């Protein structure tokens, strides 16, 4: 078969016989880790943008939470890569100068008090 005949044969095949399945053909390349991560991300609650509180009100709620050992949800003046507000849920364990120490699932995090936008107690 000459080059010209093979090109004609290929062109006829793609024109009449070949049916592109689009994205279906790529789904086999997703690993189970990828699909579980996608499902986990989709199942997460999207945080609602809460109003900004003044520093005295934030301090009062954080102090009450520390004294009563109740969990708090702290919304920061930041957004994540998906443009959702960053929220930290944990227990107030103390403070250092202008930072508060929050226990999040057993890990300690220091957060600048000035980066806190809103706080609610659970």
- Domains recognised in the chain with CATH numbers: 3-43 (no CATH), 55-121 (2.30.30.100)
Q: Give the three-state DSSP class for 70.
A: coil
For residue range 53-68, list pLDDT tens digits in order: 999 999 999 999 999 9
CA 68, 100, 108, 81 torsion: positive or negative?
A: positive
- The pTM score is 0.63
- Separation of alpha carbons 83 and 48, rounded Å: 11
pLDDT band at 35 (very low <50, low <70, confident <90, very high): confident
Tokens 């005295």, located at residue: 56
For residue range 11-27, list pLDDT tens digits in order: 888 888 877 766 655 66
Nearest to 90 by CA among 66, 112, 67: 66
Percent of the chain past pLDDT 90, that is, above it, reads: 48
């Amino acid at each position: 078969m000459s080059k010209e005949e093979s090109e004609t044969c290929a062109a006829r095949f793609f024109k009449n016989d070949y049916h592109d399945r689009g994205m279906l053909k790529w789904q086999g390349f997703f690993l189970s880790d990828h699909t579980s991560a996608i499902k986990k991300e989709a199942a997460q609650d999207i945080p609602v943008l809460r109003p900004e509180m003044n520093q005295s009100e934030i301090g009062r709620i954080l102090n009450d939470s520390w004294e009563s050992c109740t969990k708090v949800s702290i919304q920061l003046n930041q957004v994540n890569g998906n443009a959702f507000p960053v929220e930290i849920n944990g227990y107030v364990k103390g403070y250092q100068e202008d930072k508060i120490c929050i226990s999040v699932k057993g890990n300690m995090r220091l957060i600048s008090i000035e980066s806190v936008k809103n706080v609610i107690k659970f």
